[in-house]
Structure 1
């Protein structure tokens, strides 16, 4: 049986969680900008330039 040392996983976990958190914040800001912030210009139907 191979024993896996938990140190590398513990060292890699903070970076992974930080990246995941930053991605979540980015998606959240993107959704806020498209829904709650200034309206995003989306050409729809015949009114498109």
Structure 2
């Protein structure tokens, strides 16, 4: 599916948009993983 999107003649705008979305999802996952690790190593305080 991703290969079809990148090979289809949509124009560079759509490909750039998909690339940015993938990067933002990756950054969000990384930040939340770091946040979870910090909160776990703090001392098991349950703020939520």
- TM (norm. structure 2) is 0.60
Larger Rg: 1
4+ residue runs of structure 1 moved beyond 2 angstroms?
none
Q: Which structure features the higher share of helix residues?
A: 2
Show structure 2 runs of 5+ residues with no match: 1-11
* Equivalenced residues, count: 35
Show structure 1 runs of 5+ residues with no match: 39-49
- Structure with higher RCO (Cα < 8 A, 6+ apart): 2
